[in-house]
Amino acid sequence: MAPGAVIGWDMGAALALAAALGVPVLAAAELLPVIEAAMVTKLNEQSGSGGLEGCDV
């Protein structure tokens, strides 16, 4: 694993945010892992290539 690589989200915080936004917790629990996997993959691809073009980091 590369230094500074993203390995995942804080799912407790993500579920709390979803609940605060009125998203049903069961729906969030079903969808968040898929969204997390895609986001982590993309972030690590971009940081590994050194290209964060278009990212507000």
Tens digit of pLDDT for each residue in 3-55?
677 888 899 999 999 999 999 999 999 999 999 999 989 988 887 755 555 55
pLDDT at 55 (0 to 100) = 56
Residue 37 lies in a domain: yes
Alpha-carbon distances of 36 from 24, 32, rounded to whole Å: 17, 6
pTM: 0.64
For 37, the domain range is 22-48
pLDDT at 18: 95
Q: Is residue 38 part of a domain?
A: yes
The reported pLDDT for the residue numbered 49 is: 59
User: Do the domain assignments include residue 2?
Assistant: no
What tokens does 32 get?
């968040």
Give the separation between CA 21 and CA 7, rounded to whole angstroms. 25
